[in-house]
Structure formats: C-alpha cells, structure tokens
Structure 1
Amino acid sequence: MTQTSIWKQILDPSHRADPYPLYAELRKTPVVREEDGSYVVSTYREIVALLHDPRLSSDLRNLPDYDADAQEQASGEGPAALPPTFIETDPPEHDRARRLLTWNFGPPHAPSRIDSMTPDLFEIVTSGIDGFVGKDGVGGKDRSGPTRVDIVEDFAYPFPVTVICRLLGVPRDDEPRFQALSDAVVKASDPSTGVVTERQRRRAKARADLGQYFTELLDARHGRLGDDLLSGLLRGDGPEAPMPYEQVLSNAALLLVAGHETTVNLITNGMLTLLRHPQVLDRLSRDDEPDLAPRVVEELLRYEPPVQFLSNNRNTLDDIEIAGTTIPKGSPVTLVLASGSRDPDFVPDPDRFDPDREYNEHLGFGGGIHYCFGAPLARPETQIALTELAHRLKNPRLVADPPPYRASPSLRGPRHLLIEIDGVNPPQHPPP
C-alpha cells in the first residue's frame, strides 16, 4: 500500500483546521517532488529565492501540458474565454498591466483612493456590528440572554464585499450572482480536485462567466463612467495606452474575487486567533496602544494567513537548483507561504502568536513582482474590523473550537465562526 504523501495529507479537508504540524513535517525536506511531477517548496529562504527568480514563471502558457484549446472549449456556446490576469503573466506583459492597475488604485498616482475610503470602512464596520443588536435577546425582549453571531456571515463576509463593490463600481445588490461565480473560480483553482487540464478548463469557464457579468454591467452603464477603479481602467487613465477591453474584464474579475475572498479569511482567522488569545483581545479593546492593531494584523499574516500557498500557475522556465534539488525546466511549482512564515530557521518560536515580535517579516502577501496588489486595502480593512470588534463586543466567546472550515486548502478560513456575546457597546471611534 502506497503511503500518502505529506502534501496530499495537507490537501485533505480533514486537516484543514490545523495544517501546521504537517507543514513542520514538510519542511524537513525543503523541496519535495510529488507523483504528478510537481515540486512543493516549504522553507522560508527557498520560497523567497524563488519568488524573486525570473526563471519561475507565473504564466500557465509556459507549462508543457498547457491546453490552449481548453480555454475556448470551456466556454462552449457561452461567453468567450478571457485573457490571463496580470498575476498570470510574466514581464513585460505583467509589468505594463500592473502599472495600469496601480495608476487607478493607489500611490503614487492615486494616493488618496485608499485613504479616502477610511470613513466608508468605519461606517460599514459600525453598521455591521450595530446589526448584532436585537439578535437572540440583545436589545430585544430578553435582554439578559446571550447573542449568537456568525462572524463570517454576519460581519467578515459583508464588509469586504461592500468595500470591493464600491471600489470597482459594482452594485451591491448583485452580490448573490457574483458570489456564485466567485465560488466557482475558487473551486476550480483547488489543487486537490481533478487533473490539471480539467481544473484549467473549469477555471477558464468560471472566469468567462465573470467576464460576461462585467460585460453586462458595463453595457448597462451606456458609456457613463464614474470615479471608480473600473471606470478609470476603461478611460485609460495614466500615461500608457488604455488596457484592452478584454483585459479590463479579466482583471476586474480577479479583483472582485481576490478583493473579498482573502480579506474574509484574514478577518475571520484574526477574530478566531484573538478569541484563543484573550490577553491580546483585551489589549486591543483598550486605547492605550495605538500601534497594536497594525502589529496584530502583521502577526496574523504570518501566523494564520488567508492564502496558504501559491500553486496552479507557477512553473520553471529553466532548470533551477534550490536546497540541493534541481527542479527541471517545465515543472509546476507550489510555494507553501504559510509553512515558510512558520519556518523556525527564520522565525524564533514560530508557532506562538506574538504581535510584539521585534522583527516580523512574513509571506502573508507573497513577494517579488507578484506581491499582493490589494495589500494597501486589506491592511486597514482588517485593522479597523478587528479593533472595532474588540472594542464593542461584550464578553465574546467561541461556540465551537475548532470551527468548521471551508473546503479550499489554499484560501483557508472558517466557513462559519459562531460566537456568543453579552451585548454590544456603543461605537467609540466615530468615522473620521
């Protein structure tokens, strides 16, 4: 009987609640070849080296078994397949697309876009927590009874969805439709489901459907553009030529999915971790450490990151020798970011949650040219969300630990996070 590899055990949903002991086993061999010919890299220094190595491609089209026909076949009689997103390309194609996106997103060209959203972030968070009042007794007839809240459904999901909709100019009422499409994209990217060509086909179909959604959305505007990110891309704001229409659709679909999927997990993982470390939660609930929230979020990105690993499209353009192993040209490569961030050869006492670490460099947002595009927004979203939850929830406690987890091994987070509270304090921090 063939022994199941450590990597396959990590992909198994039964280990979703705590994959970190398996990561520790995986790190004993920094570079592992799997039966399918792919390579899994799990140690910090080796991951960082590959993230900055131009011989590691992010373009699926460089894979030997890439099926170009799958893109068209996936759509069938439906929407046409979309071109790769900017994170699925290499320089110079990647660099130009990222510049165009950045021009409309943040510094140095649009420095006020994220900062100007701060009042909106506070308003959305405040409204979300206010919504807890009246549930199961709080503010209702039985004021003495505890309130049961699902942090995922009642807070961590609606918040970043509302934010990304405002950023892109997407109607919030369309959430049921684009969430179903987003779920299809995430499921199609799960490396534990199906062979590579089949996942490629399903991913192309899911993205084509999202592209069709954006096409209909833009058609309904009748050419009227606003000040949102999507309008900026269509106008061609910036010194370079406008981004081709199909690339606008493709990258808008990416930002819509990534803009809420990862932040939902970061907020939920954060609240779960704080409830498991009540002394930190208590510190965050006070106002005497103004720099604590940023440090908590950075430690969360190291300790319980929403993106556990990068796979699917990383592949070698040449032979690469790393940690005494030669990864042959044309090999798929998975970079296990969550394992690298807990590498004891780089981080002292890595399995301890400690926001007071003097030195905290992590892989929570990846690295290299594909460093997380949405990091400037995810950080303040999570800082505000966790701070306000800490301030306003009275005696929060977990209903079940561990909670049930989502199926995806790469975008890891609880499917539900049920807590009980004794009430909700009034807001302490009015929107700026």
Structure 2
Amino acid sequence: MAQENTKLFQQILDHSHITHPYPIYAQLRETPVCQQEDGTYVVSTYADVMALLRDPRVSSDERKSADLSKVSPATTDPEFHPTFIFQDPPAHDLLRRLVVNQFTPERIEGLRPHIEEVVQQQLEAHRQTTRMDIVDDLAYPLPVSVICRLLGVPIKDEDLFHGWSTILASTLDPGQTGTEEQKQKIIESSKQLREYLRGLVNNLRAHPEDNLLSDIIKANETEKIMTEDDIVATAGLLLIAGHETTVNLITNGMLTLLRQPEIQERLRQEPDLIISFVEEMLRYDPPVQFRTRTTLAAIDIDGITIPKGASLVLIFASGSHDPARFERPEECIPERTDNQHLGFGGGIHYCVGAPLARIEAQIALRELNRRLIEPKLDQEPPPYRANASLRGPRHLTITYKGLRP
C-alpha cells in the first residue's frame, strides 16, 4: 500500500480540500479498504460500502470501538443515551419500527402544502431585491419550519436548537474534537438539548397535539418499547437530522444548477425532471459524505482482514462516484435511471426521513429554478461549512434580475 494512501482521509478532513474532495475519493478507491495511520479503516468502493452497510458484524454503536479516543465526547458522557440509529438489533429494530409506524406516507405528503407555502414566502420576501443567500434565505428556514411543524417544536426556539445542532454536527467528523474546551462544549450542548427536549416531551404528554412526537408518545404508552430517554433521544435525532442534511441537499443542488446552466434550462422545459434530478444530486454531491462504524468481529473484505473493534469510515460519496457501479460518475446526469445511490445510506440504518427530504428538495429547487431570473453565483467557490461529513456551503450568495410569477 502506498504510504500516501494512509494519509488520504486526513486530507478529506482538511478544510482546504472541502470544496472538491472527489479526486481524493478516486485515489482512495485504488485501495478500496485502506488502513490509515491512526488505525482507522476507510472503505471507498460502492460494492464494499454496500456490503458493510448490510453486514451484521458492523455496528453503528461507536461505544463498542476498541479505541474510545476516536469517538465523540458526547458518546462517552455518562448521561448520553443513544438514539436508535446508534444502536444495533434487536433494540434498534424495535425502536425504529415505532418511529417508522408514525412516519407515514400520508403524514409526509400532508406537509406538501406547508412546504410550498414556505418556499413561496421566502422567495416573495426577496421580490424587491436582486441578491439573496440560498442558505440563510431558503435552504435553512424551509426544513427548520417543516421539522418544527412535524415534531411540535415551537419555531420561536430555533435560535436555541440551531446553536446546539451546529456544535453536535461537528462530532460527525472523526478526531475533530480534540481539545478539552471543545469536548466540554459538545457535552454541554448535548445536555442542554436533552433538557430542552425532555421539557417538550413532558408538555406534549400532558397536552397532546397533532404531530409526530405526540403520536410516538401515545403509541409508546401502548407498546412500551421506548424509555423516557429513548423518546428524548429520538426527538433529538429527528430535530437535528431533519433539517441539517436537507439544507445541504438544497444548497448543493442549487450550486450545481448555477454551475451548469444547461441543466437549469432543461428543468425549466421539463419540470417533472426535478424528481430524477434530486436523486442525481443525492449521488453526485450528497449532503452526507461519509459515516463511521465499528466492527463487532473480524471481517475479511477485498483481501483485507479488518479486526474486531476497529473504527470504520464508509465513504458514501465515494461509493456513489465509483465507475465500477455508475456510468460517467463525475457527470451530473438529471435523467439518470439506474441510480441506487448511497445518499441516504443503506441497510437497516437507511434514512427514516428520506421521503420528506426528497419532497422538500424537489419543491425548493423547482421553484428556485423556475422563478429566479438569470441567477448568478456571487462567489466561486462559495464558503463551506467546517464539517467534512455533513458537507455543503455555509453561504451561497447569488444575484438575479427579478422573480417570475
């Protein structure tokens, strides 16, 4: 193995490479299972990532790692209680089922009018201007409004959970929370979020409303699957994951349209193409680039034996750019049909909120592309968020000549 390959993942985490990590992924695929200097195994091809996502010997509970120095400080906090996506069967399956049973297609489709309304309100607020920030003015407010409505979280509390969410999202990048000050900030944010959500859960238990969280609480009274800590952890997962990733999906999609005017024009001429375009964005420039796992036993894959207790990094974005799986993977092809991308992960931890994220992105990108007249990117490349895993521009400022009706 070339020595430089053992340092490639550190390059991905280096912010200087965040605007275009895909050439680094291509280098990693030359050694599909590549052990890094710190002992972490990075997996980068579509076939290997998919195989490990479905392997019962791979755990999403990082507390089972042989090296706890690599895991998030929030995870090692004695008060931490993992949500179901950070648990393994059978507990995972029971907890996930209760959530999925309330996350019905009817409930998600029922949010469509609200999504349409918020998108139009955010655009109309900029009718008298010729400049807007896609992130601050639409891609962030939209999913926040939707997830608050879905869960029953007061929108007035957005300032609170936005701060906690930003700090906790930083833990998705391995080894990026090294100082004691950073660790304490993460632990404190996790604690404050739990306390806030515990109060919300208690209030909804006493005064149920027509929302997802109330229905989870009610269903659990009959099934008695979740503890109080499980309910609070689930609320936190849905609140944070319900908006953080969608912000990136909308923003990355708009950035691609700004860079490729020919796709803009195609979508205006063929508005129904937005559905497959969003799927292509989940492959081409996904909101979640990679996730971490831990091995519960030794695993032989691609000629490498990964030992028990090893830390894994599964690079979804690399797998979705694997030329062994996708034709012309470095091109954005809106009409791509054979598109079983890894944008929402895979296996038992496939994203619960995928249907909602799809609807939000489809509506937001359709209307942005339809209504903005001659939009232009203000800065190339735009400034990116610090997080390499949850990758997307921090701001996406554009100029335009007006709004179509």
Within the alignment, does 1:405 sit opposite 2:381 as a pair?
Answer: no
Q: 1:292-331 counterparts in 2 under 5 A?
A: 292-311=273-292, 314-331=293-310
Question: Kindly tell me: are residues 201 and 412 of structure 1, through their superposed partners in 2, closer, same or farther at Cα, counting changes over 3 Å?
Answer: same
Corresponding residue for 1:344? Answer: 323
* Bigger Rg, structure 1 or 2: 1
Question: Kindly tell me: are residues 150 and 103 of structure 1, through their superposed partners in 2, closer, same or farther at Cα, counting changes over 3 Å?
Answer: same
Q: SS state of the match for residue 380, structure 2? A: coil
The whole-number CA distance in structure 1 between the counterparts of 2:323 and 2:185 is 38
Higher helix residue share: 2
Corresponding residue for 2:111? Answer: 117
Corresponding residue for 1:366? Answer: 345
- Structure 1 segments unaligned to the other structure (5+ residues): 76-80, 136-146, 427-432
Q: SS state of the match for residue 8, structure 1? A: helix
TM-score by length of 2: 0.93
Q: SS state of the match for residue 349, structure 1? A: coil
Corresponding residue for 2:404? Answer: 425
The whole-number CA distance in structure 1 between the counterparts of 2:175 and 2:259 is 29
Corresponding residue for 1:6? Answer: 8
Amino acid at match of 1:22: I
Give the drift of 1:364: 0.4
Deviations 1:155-209 (A, max 9, x none): 1000000000000000111000110010111123322414599988765543222
Check conservation: 1:11, 1:192, Cα contact below 8 A: no
Deviations 1:354-397 (A, max 9, x none): 01223112100100000011101000110000001111111111
Question: Kindly tell me: are residues 234 and 61 of structure 1, through their superposed partners in 2, closer, same or farther at Cα, counting changes over 3 Å?
Answer: same
- Larger mean CA deviation between 182-191 and 271-280 belongs to 182-191
Corresponding residue for 1:388? Answer: 367
The whole-number CA distance in structure 2 between the counterparts of 1:317 and 1:88 is 14
Deviations 1:195-235 (A, max 9, x none): 59998876554322211111233445571011211111221
Q: 1:134 aligns with which of 99, 113, 128?
A: 128
Q: SS state of the match for residue 300, structure 2? A: strand
- Larger mean CA deviation between 191-200 and 35-44 belongs to 191-200
Question: Kindly tell me: are residues 365 and 73 of structure 1, through their superposed partners in 2, closer, same or farther at Cα, counting changes over 3 Å?
Answer: closer
Check conservation: 1:188, 1:199, Cα contact below 8 A: no
- Larger mean CA deviation between 384-393 and 187-196 belongs to 187-196
Q: 2:239 aligns with which of 247, 256, 269?
A: 256
Deviations 1:113-161 (A, max 9, x none): 01111111111111111111123xxxxxxxxxxx111000011000000
Question: Kindly tell me: are residues 6 and 198 of structure 1, through their superposed partners in 2, closer, same or farther at Cα, counting changes over 3 Å?
Answer: farther
State the Cα RMSD in Å: 2.3
Corresponding residue for 1:95? Answer: 93
Identity of aligned residues (%): 49
The whole-number CA distance in structure 2 between the counterparts of 1:161 and 1:194 is 26
The whole-number CA distance in structure 2 between the counterparts of 1:372 and 1:383 is 17
Give the drift of 1:16: 0.5
Q: 1:246 aligns with which of 219, 229, 237?
A: 229
Check conservation: 1:103, 1:238, Cα contact below 8 A: no
Question: Kindly tell me: are residues 71 and 160 of structure 1, through their superposed partners in 2, closer, same or farther at Cα, counting changes over 3 Å?
Answer: closer
Question: Kindly tell me: are residues 10 and 65 of structure 1, through their superposed partners in 2, closer, same or farther at Cα, counting changes over 3 Å?
Answer: closer
Give the drift of 1:262: 0.2
Give the drift of 1:242: 4.8
Question: Kindly tell me: are residues 297 and 72 of structure 1, through their superposed partners in 2, closer, same or farther at Cα, counting changes over 3 Å?
Answer: closer
